[in-house]
Structure 1
């Protein structure tokens, strides 16, 4: 059953990079906006006459916290009508229609296997929600590896937060991967996400579940590589962007 459309109010906007912004949305008619980490909301933006051409879906980047405020992290697409509207027309105090929560890209009931969260760009959003939820609720888990690919150090969304969480949450490991940096520090990687999870998997060889979030090319390649390593399709979950 679909949730009804509700009015959301933009209460804060922060710029992570010139082309990637954080939007905090309050849903005033609810005391608590309840959702599962990994779910998304759909925005109905005034950019077209046809409904299905106005709808844009974004994963919730915040963890459920008992409030009626959620955070989205959105990248500007040059030819994207939806993101151009959000970046150019929306201000703090603006209202927009949203529906949610939606989606089944969520954590299993029991975290009995190692968890590999593989993402690029704003694909980190559902994983940030998941790992903060696990941490704040003291949920038992095996090793969790967050492998986050981006171009440069300045593109590493939530970097300080993830580095701090790695120190605070036993069994959580943050692996940033940079495709356009010549020199990286210990614990960081050059290149792309695929080499990182393959190296980790070959070293550990434990049962694992995989969650992939990002552009189609990355997900298609990761799914094939993981199956080539012998992992079952049913252990590979993904959410496409774009």
Structure 2
């Protein structure tokens, strides 16, 4: 895949999603359409350091291809993070950003022949939101899809009502938000127990593993543990795809 050139982006809209997470809509004026595959990311070149590689910050695209030149990013404010501090406190509607993309191979197969497990924490939900909407818009045939989204408390839930609506609108799509620090009517604990139990239910007493692909997006600790658990269950490394944050 050829590396995309740096382009100018204009922030057209900013909304708070939670107390520490914002949604940024960015328009690329020189393009009539910003084409990308759901799951890909863009890199921003932020004026926060003299060295280029210390200015670059990459974020998964949270929106889906819609024929326009606007896309959405979902960004959490990181304590001590120079990039997110700049985006949260210096950028406003009308601000210009330098960006490059789309990039990345964290995408679904063209033909989906296995169950899909989308396992994420925090803003790692962004690429999966893009994928689910795109599947719906193209009426793409697929098997069971499980979005297991882990976060701490209800106030940290991202796109909650939207994902619940998508669960009703997209066949075989199962949305499982899971809280690790708060009791509520939904799932509690950590994401690992959720997908392990789902796989066990799918086996239904059979010794054979159900065919599946696992997409992991979030912090390194979650991804490392998920890979270790999935390999221990017996899944091949080729069935595990990851997009690492931080």
Class of the TM-score when normalised by the shorter of the 2 chains:
over 0.9
1:135-156 deviations in Å (ceiling 9; x for gaps): 1110000000000000111111
- Paired residue for 2:47? 46
Q: Deviations for 1:194-240, whole angstroms, at most 9, x for unmatched residues?
A: 00000000000321000000000000000010111111100000011
Q: How does 1:26-105 map to 2 (within 5 A)?
A: 26-105=27-106
Partner of 2:195: 197
Shift of 1:109: 1.5
| In structure 1, C-alpha distance between the alignment counterparts of 2:26 and 2:218, rounded to whole Å | 23
Aligned residue in 1 for 2:151: 150
Secondary structure at the counterpart of residue 129 of structure 2? helix
Q: CA deviation at 1:35?
A: 0.2
1:23 aligned onto 2:21: no
- The runs of 4+ residues in structure 1 deviating greater than 6 Å are none
Mapping of 1:107-146 within 5 angstroms?
107-146=108-147
1: CA distance, partners of 2:72 / 2:193: 31
Q: Secondary structure at the match of 1:136?
A: helix
What corresponds to 1:167 in structure 2? 168
- Determine the C-alpha separation between the residues in 2 that align with 1:45 and 1:169: 37
Q: State the 1:7 CA deviation.
A: 0.3
SS, match of residue 199 in structure 1:
helix
Partners of 2:21 and 2:239 lie apart in 1 by: 31
**Residue aligning to 1:226:** 230
- State the 1:159 CA deviation: 0.7
Aligned counterparts of 2:23 and 2:129: Cα–Cα separation in 1: 13
Query: How far apart are residue 123 of structure 1 and its match?
Result: 0.2
2:211 is equivalent to residue 207 of structure 1: yes
1:49 partner SS: coil
Q: CA RMSD in A?
A: 0.6
Instruction: Please list every run of 5 or more consecutive structure 1 residues that lacks an aligned counterpart in the other structure.
Output: none
Q: Does 1:241 align with 2:245?
A: yes
Q: Which residue does 2:207 correspond to in 1?
A: none
The DSSP-based 3-state class of the residue aligned with 1:71 is: strand
Q: Do structure 1's residue 7 and structure 2's residue 16 form an aligned pair?
A: no
- Report deviation, 1:18: 2.0
Instruction: Provide TM-score, normalisation by structure 2.
Output: 0.96
Q: What displacement does 1:63 show?
A: 0.7
Distance 1:148 1:78 in 2: 22
Q: SS of the counterpart of 1:166?
A: helix
